[in-house]
Amino acid sequence: MNNYIHVLDVDGKRITSIVDSMLAPIGEEALRKQAKEQYPNATQYIYGNDDMLDEFIAGKIYKNGTFVELPVVEYIPTKEEKIAYIKNYYDSRFGALDKALIRRQLINGDITDLQEQYNQLNTEMLTKIKEVQ
């Protein structure tokens, strides 16, 4: 069984693990010193074995001396991302109107209904954008 210094960030997430060679072991203190020199910005340097490494590899974090599941954080889009999504949705609909307009103009057809649809879509889009928080 190998021994390691597990280098952790402020949240208890493993940055890396430095193995204490079984052929020429240097021990816990020397290994910890090496880890602090190589990763000075880490928060914790925990001495452990293969069992601890397995927990980290399984995606767990080390909090208050125990392993816990990594909390699931729901992604909430920014205001700009929400607005971009709305614009993208309406751009495809405006594209369909553009094609219809070109075809009508080619045959000298009436475009009044297309103008009304455009105004309605534009009003819808602006209303939805204003509702974004």
Q: What is the pLDDT along the chain (133 residues), one digit of tens a residue?
A: 789 999 999 999 999 999 987 777 788 899 999 999 999 999 999 999 999 999 999 999 999 889 999 877 888 899 999 999 999 999 989 999 999 999 999 999 899 999 999 999 999 999 999 999 8
Per-residue burial over 93-123, b = 16 or more CB atoms within 10 Å of its CB, e = otherwise? eeeeeeebbeeeeeeeeeeeebeebbeeeee
The model's pTM: 0.55
**Cα–Cα distance for residue pair 49/41, rounded to 1 Å:** 23
Q: Please list the residues that pair with 6 across neighbouring strands.
A: 17, 46
Of the candidates 51, 62, 45, 59, the residue with the CA atom closest to the CA atom of residue 7? 45
Say what the alpha-carbon torsion angle 46, 50, 52, 56 is, to the nearest 10 degrees: 100
Report domain extents, the chain: 3-69, 79-131
